[in-house]
């Protein structure tokens, strides 16, 4: 615990103004400090799949780990725990004491923009893996922050959306992963969600923070707001939210809180109670006697992290289709053949967008990984197939589109800031800025400043060049002082602008090769934009593409490459602009406007030996599924993604992943369809969680099986397994099960053994079954293992709203031994003789 801290004496030493100061951050990432009273500041850092540090643009490199949906697909507790430790090690290199992870919100709907950052549609799997991640991180003394409490399942209007959710659905689905992880792992911090629950913002919700979190669950820790997610003064403090982030405060300004005390809305004891939790948190971090903060963040590329990322990424990949054993592509099988790598083969789809983004130490593309694994055995060809980007890329400084130099004559741009009332002389100038995009998240430098990005451009090619641009506030683009673009007023998509996932209209401008043009982008700070994070922060981007590249026949090139090859592998997926925080996805189909779907269909039509490797964090439509021979869901698997993909495709790793989400055929069959992202009532977005507890497979169990391409828990292998001999016996805490698992195939492999439980007699009020236990088992060919799994009695219960307690009805229950939600290997029945209840 570090040196002994007398918390009550420390509180007594503070003035009321000093106390209030501590209830909000002092900067974007740091909590407030009062050094003269011995109270330190600690640094927080994103995030779930990499510890980035302060700069959202990623100037300090960091390890990029597999995203949570990939981790969940491993069904492996040890992997989750090891990743937690590694994230803590990364956090120390950035001087952070508090990691803003894990994210445990449920995959309610396939179009959720931030689903990739969370684990699963199932609360039990989510909670158990999050528990391990938290324990791993906190074993090294770094705080984990479980988020977003609660029900942040959509990005549309996420700051204000009002969600109508029954208490039963909250308890059984949305609060459940938090409850599991909090009771098992005791995360030291909880982050509130932006949204409202039944009319009340989460950060000001006394039922959520007081009754449930601190009362029923008995949790003691610090509650922090999501960034810009503080919505009240007195209500939030009294409800139990300790710290407004980021700082400086926008809501909990000292004079405002003092006024609330003066008016009797708050007492000083309310503030003291928040400080007790805050100081206990700092004490756990040993912050009073250990300075973890660093002046210069470091990028430590640890070899053991490389190994872990590759291992975790490969074991999270799910083999979904393998007709005629087209996979694995062993050296013996493919020697001397020609393989066409098509689509996003030269793109490393490492992670989704938003606060989960990091500037990875390096990124291995599938092209890189397969070249390393098979390059001496086969001939690889490549065709791009589609444009990947939602937005045109910034002008690169590598000369591929032309020469760009700043005002100092060096490659890149110059970057100038001006006061709002004086644009004649810049207040600061930075030369050799790398590109024509500036995102201010995490920085204070553009607050209430006009920004100009300036460079002299000498194009490589004559013709109409495609341009697209946008800014947070009023923005213009000038070519030799001629205005070629103007955005009047604020962006109409502030969250999209923040995470560079908005839609931009493209236009063309003619340039002549060899002629030099002065490019100037000027952008103003936004006012009255409706976001506490963005208000006053100047941000802008400009994308650029040569006409010849923009209008090329990419699909035709891909078809020709496929026809000439013995085998074609099409790489599809989302990059961080398509699947991101700040924006729900535009379509269930792969981007853009069906181009990737058309590409797969065209390639499969040209070559019957077509394999698809899909890198998304979510379920997507697969209209081409019947046309292809092989399919691997590779998720966002981190900086080693290309090597991990190659390991699975070549058989260096036998695939052992299982789906943590159901993959429906059509979006109309998703349980939340028609209730996502909601409807506007009097200008405010409201969403009804009308599906109740029937989320994911709990919904699909009640409808026709053909509505689903692949069920929850599904995953193929290069070997085969036999599950059986399930036996169930009562235990002091519930039930204990035994079962046999045998590898009946010819290669070593792993399988996620799953246990589901449901009432023998189905009813409309309850799911057919729910996951209550799982275990990853790895076996050599012919090896048999007896396994034991525990099931808590509470996990058979449903929440009775009228009685306000968990209830296990008397009657017959069936325990299912399974390899997926629909592949049941054995069933054993248990009779519960009388009703059993548990306190909420």
Tell me the mean pLDDT per 10 residues along the chain, length 840.
Answer: 79 98 96 95 93 79 97 98 97 94 98 97 98 98 98 96 98 98 98 98 98 97 97 98 96 98 97 98 91 76 98 98 98 96 97 92 98 94 93 89 94 95 92 87 85 96 94 96 96 86 92 96 92 89 90 94 98 95 94 95 98 98 98 98 98 98 97 97 96 98 92 98 97 95 98 98 95 98 98 97 97 98 98 95
In a domain, 482, yes or no: yes
pLDDT recorded at residue 542: 94
Sequence-distant (≥ 6) Cβ neighbours of residue 78 within 8 angstroms: 132
E strand or H helix that includes residue 685: strand 684-688
Q: Considering just the CA atoms, what is the radius of gyration of the chain in Å?
A: 27
First to last CA, the chain: 32
Question: For position 734, which CATH number holds?
Answer: 2.60.40.10
In a domain, 54, yes or no: no
Residues 417, 457 share a domain? yes
Residues 663, 607 share a domain? yes
Q: Which two tokens stand for residue 311?
A: 């291992």
Residues 501, 357 share a domain? no
In a domain, 79, yes or no: no
- Specify the residue for token string 């081409």: 624
In a domain, 725, yes or no: yes
115 DSSP assignment: G
Question: For position 462, which CATH number holds?
Answer: 2.60.120.260
Could you tell me how far CA 30 lies from the centroid of its own chain? Answer: 22
Beta pairing class for 610-615 and 517-523: unpaired
User: What is residue 676's three-state secondary structure?
Assistant: coil
Residue (of 819, 816, 655) closest to 742 by Cα position: 819
Which candidate in 30, 76, 226, 347 is catalytic? 226
Domain count, the chain: 3
Domain with 703 in it = 306-389+554-677+697-709
Question: For position 357, which CATH number holds?
Answer: 3.40.50.1700
The whole model's pTM is what? 0.95
Residues 590, 453 share a domain? no
pLDDT recorded at residue 292: 59
Sign for the pseudo-dihedral over CA of 75, 78, 79, 80:
positive
Q: Assign 3-state DSSP to the chain and report helix, strand, coil percentages, each to 5.
A: 25, 30, 45
207 DSSP assignment: I
Residues 775, 665 share a domain? no
Residues 518, 422 share a domain? yes
d(CA 790, CA 253): 50
Bridge partners of residue 144, in order along the sequence: 99
d(CA 690, CA 672): 7
376 as an active site residue: the answer is no
Helix axes 123-138, 77-93, angle to 10 degrees: 40
Residues 529, 409 share a domain? yes
In a domain, 99, yes or no: no
Q: Other CB atoms closer than 10 Å to residue 505's CB: what's the count? A: 10
Residues 588, 515 share a domain? no
In a domain, 150, yes or no: no
732: exposed, middle or buried (C-beta count within 10 Å: 0-12, 13-18, 19+)?
A: exposed
Q: Show which of 508, 538, 568 is a domain's final residue.
A: 538
269 DSSP assignment: H
- Specify the residue for token string 């589109």: 401
Residues 346, 321 share a domain? yes
Q: Other CB atoms closer than 10 Å to residue 733's CB: what's the count? A: 11
pLDDT recorded at residue 1: 41
Exposure class string for 581-608: b at 16+ Cβ within 10 A, else e? bbbbbeebbbbeeebbbbbbbbbbebbe
99 DSSP assignment: E
Q: Show which of 477, 505, 538 is a domain's final residue.
A: 538
In a domain, 199, yes or no: no
In a domain, 444, yes or no: yes
Residues 450, 380 share a domain? no
Residues 514, 603 share a domain? no
pLDDT tens readout for residues 224-256: 999 999 999 999 999 999 999 999 999 999 999
pLDDT tens readout for residues 16-51: 999 999 999 999 999 999 999 999 999 999 988 999
Sequence-distant (≥ 6) Cβ neighbours of residue 35 within 8 angstroms: none
Residues 424, 337 share a domain? no
Sign for the pseudo-dihedral over CA of 495, 500, 506, 512:
positive
Q: SS3 sequence, 416-450?
A: EEEECCECCCCCEEEEEECCCEECCCCCCCCECEE
């Amino acid at each position: 615990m570090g040196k002994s801290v007398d918390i009550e004496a420390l509180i007594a030493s503070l003035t009321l103004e000093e106390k209030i100061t501590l209830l909000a951050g002092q900067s974007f990432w740091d909590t407030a400090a009062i050094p003269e009273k011995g109270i330190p500041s600690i640094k927080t850092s994103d995030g779930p799949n990499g510890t980035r540090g302060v700069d959202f643009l990623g100037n300090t490199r960091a390890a990029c780990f597999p995203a949570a949906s990939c981790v969940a697909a491993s069904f492996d507790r040890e992997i989750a725990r090891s990743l937690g430790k590694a994230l803590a090690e990364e956090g120390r290199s950035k001087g952070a004491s508090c990691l803003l992870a894990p994210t445990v919100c449920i995959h309610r709907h396939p179009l959720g923009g931030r689903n990739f950052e969370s684990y699963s549609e199932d609360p039990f799997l989510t909670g158990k893996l999050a528990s391990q991640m938290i324990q791993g991180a906190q074993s090294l003394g770094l705080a984990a922050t479980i988020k977003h409490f609660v029900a942040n399942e959509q990005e549309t209007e996420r700051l204000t959306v009002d969600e109508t959710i029954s208490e039963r659905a909250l308890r059984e689905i949305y609060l459940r992963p938090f409850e599991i992880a909090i009771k098992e792992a005791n995360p030291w911090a909880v982050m509130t969600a932006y949204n409202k629950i039944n009319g009340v913002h989460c950060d000001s919700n006394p039922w959520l923070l007081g009754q449930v979190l601190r009362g029923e669950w008995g949790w003691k820790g610090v509650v922090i707001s999501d960034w810009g997610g503080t919505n009240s003064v007195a209500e939030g403090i009294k409800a139990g939210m300790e710290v407004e982030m980021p700082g400086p405060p926008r809501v909990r300004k000292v004079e405002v809180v003092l006024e609330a005390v003066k008016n009797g809305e708050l007492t000083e004891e309310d503030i003291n109670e928040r400080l007790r939790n805050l100081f206990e948190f700092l004490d756990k971090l040993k912050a009073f006697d250990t300075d973890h903060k660093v002046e210069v963040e470091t990028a430590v590329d640890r070899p053991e992290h490389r190994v872990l990322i590759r291992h975790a990424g490969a074991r999270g990949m799910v083999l979904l289709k393998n007709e005629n054993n087209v996979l694995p592509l062993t050296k013996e099988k493919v020697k001397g053949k020609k393989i066409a790598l098509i689509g996003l083969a030269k793109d490393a789809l490492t992670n989704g967008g938003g606060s989960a983004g990091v500037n990875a130490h390096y990124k291995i593309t599938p092209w890189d990984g397969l070249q390393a694994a098979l390059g001496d055995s086969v001939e690889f060809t490549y065709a791009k197939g589609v444009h990947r980007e939602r937005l045109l890329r910034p002008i690169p400084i590598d000369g591929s589109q032309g020469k760009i130099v700043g005002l100092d004559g060096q490659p890149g741009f110059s970057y100038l800031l001006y006061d709002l009332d004086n644009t004649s002389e810049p207040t600061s100038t930075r030369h050799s800025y790398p590109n024509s995009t500036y995102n201010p998240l995490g920085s204070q430098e553009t607050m209430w400043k006009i920004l100009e990005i300036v460079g002299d451009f000498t194009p490589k090619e004559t013709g109409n060049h495609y341009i697209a641009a946008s800014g947070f506030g009023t923005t213009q683009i000038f070519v030799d002082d001629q205005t070629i673009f103007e955005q009047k007023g604020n962006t109409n998509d502030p969250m999209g602008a923040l995470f560079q996932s908005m839609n931009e209209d493209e236009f063309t401008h003619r340039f002549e090769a060899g002629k030099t043009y002065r490019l100037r982008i000027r952008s103003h700070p936004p006012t009255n934009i409706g976001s506490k994070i963005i208000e006053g922060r100047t941000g802008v981007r400009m994308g650029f593409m040569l006409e010849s590249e923009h209008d090329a026949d990419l699909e035709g090139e891909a078809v020709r490459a496929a026809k000439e090859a013995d085998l074609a592998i099409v790489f599809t997926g989302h990059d961080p602009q398509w699947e991101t925080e700040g924006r729900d996805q535009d379509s269930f189909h792969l981007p853009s406007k069906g181009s990737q779907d058309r590409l797969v269909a065209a390639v499969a039509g040209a070559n019957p030996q077509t394999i698809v490797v899909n890198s998304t964090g979510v379920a997507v439509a697969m209209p081409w599924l019947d046309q292809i021979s092989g399919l691997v869901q590779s998720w966002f698997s981190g900086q080693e993604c290309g090597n991990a993909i190659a390991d699975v495709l070549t058989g260096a790793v036998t695939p052992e992943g299982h789906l943590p989400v159901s993959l429906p055929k059509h979006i109309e069959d998703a349980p939340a369809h028609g209730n996502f992202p909601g409807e506007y009532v009097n200008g405010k977005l409201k969403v009804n969680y009308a599906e109740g507890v029937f989320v994911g497979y709990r919904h699909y169990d009640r409808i026709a099986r053909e509505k689903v391409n692949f069920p929850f828990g599904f995953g193929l292998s290069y070997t085969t397994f036999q599950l059986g001999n399930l036996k169930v016996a009562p235990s002091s805490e519930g039930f204990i099960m035994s079962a046999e698992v045998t590898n009946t195939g010819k290669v070593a492999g792993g399988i996620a053994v799953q246990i589901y439980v449901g009432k023998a007699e189905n009813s409309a009020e309850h799911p057919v079954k729910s996951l209550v236990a799982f275990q990853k088992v790895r076996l050599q060919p012919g090896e048999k293992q007896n396994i034991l799994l525990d099931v808590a009695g509470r996990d058979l219960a449903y929440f009775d709203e009228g009685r306000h307690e968990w209830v296990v009805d008397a009657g017959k229950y069936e325990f299912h031994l399974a390899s997926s939600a629909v592949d049941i290997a054995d069933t054993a029945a248990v009779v519960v003789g009388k009703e059993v209840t548990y306190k909420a």
